[in-house]
Structure 1
């Protein structure tokens, strides 16, 4: 079919929703929500603005689909190695080293789309910012769940919040150009602190 042939919904018949969400995810990951315009999205995806609105409802709707794609495919830390750790310090090391690998992988953007997403934004985007905050809360809870075998509930709650803050900082420093070796220094310092506290 000719490239300009349209479906009744206004999208080209060749429109690939999966590819569109993947393309949008990469753009939002690299530039942030406010750093990507509808024009940027339609140009990269290869559709007209009415087609984008028909498919996703709005730029915000596409952003949320992109976030879902990110969490499903790239943004969810694998907690499996943590479960087999022998001590709390080792569990923390495995968790943080996985985070460093994720944000410094040369085949990916140098940050976490959720940790670094919409820290500040225009007031009209407050609902999206709340969604990102809820996703960060969920990430912190996953960290706490992974660490529960190694410490009591109060220590796990405190440590999970600390680790979530450190991981957020690692994401931002990676975006700013910190090397894996420099980020590993943060890991070593934190693991040493956990080990010392655990030995008391």
Structure 2
């Protein structure tokens, strides 16, 4: 138990909050928000429902914490790495290859928790779906900024939207079991197209 972890009533929690969020993240990543019940979560974490609600407020609250953990940990795609590229095509290659490695890593769940999360859901969960859409849009903006040094005004934004769509497709195919070598073929096609269009 975390020595200073407190419940909302001021009493110590009887579980490790960090481990609980990690466990929930893995479940949500594998099965999606609607594919995981409160019972699934409490069983996997090893707590009773009241403890979950006391610590996280709701299943949705735990989901948001799991998303934050994912985005800042296993699911982060470091777009700043393309700073070592010297051409637009090289930058695109580095970005997409990093994405392929992230969604096919043998020690992780397949696909991207954010890219494929809540794309269709019950109306009751519309707020969570909007949250995921905002997160996806933020990633697109980060990609556009990273591509800025390699592209003309306006081009970076258009290309970032295209690459975001490609990355979402790669994520879904990874979840379907497509091997990395075949996903790499997608990367090669996109890079060839960017190189031909940009001449660099």
Same structural fold, with TM-score higher than 0.5 when normalized by the shorter chain: yes
Does residue 55 in structure 1 map to residue 69 in structure 2?
A: no
- Residue segments in structure 2 that go unaligned for 5+ positions in a row: 2-6
CA distance in 1 between counterparts of 2:36 and 2:8 reads: 28
Alpha-carbon distance, 1:14 to partner: 3.1
Give the equivalent residue in structure 2 for 1:4.
none
Alpha-carbon distance, 1:12 to partner: 7.2
Alpha-carbon distance, 1:137 to partner: 0.1
Give the equivalent residue in structure 1 for 2:38.
38
Give the equivalent residue in structure 2 for 1:186.
186
Please tell me whether the aligned partners of residues 8 and 55 of structure 2 are also in contact (alpha carbons under 8 angstroms): no
Give the equivalent residue in structure 1 for 2:73.
73
- Residue segments in structure 1 that go unaligned for 5+ positions in a row: 2-6
Give the equivalent residue in structure 2 for 1:107.
107
Q: TM-score, normalised by structure 1?
A: 0.93
Please tell me whether the aligned partners of residues 141 and 160 of structure 1 are also in contact (alpha carbons under 8 angstroms): yes
Q: TM-score, normalised by structure 2?
A: 0.93
Please tell me whether the aligned partners of residues 53 and 59 of structure 1 are also in contact (alpha carbons under 8 angstroms): yes
Aligned ranges 1:121-200 → 2 under 5 Å: 121-199=121-199
CA distance in 2 between counterparts of 1:125 and 1:115 reads: 17
Q: Give me the CA root mean square deviation.
A: 1.8
- 1:30-58: CA deviation from partner (whole Å, max 9, x where unpaired): 00000000000000000000110010000
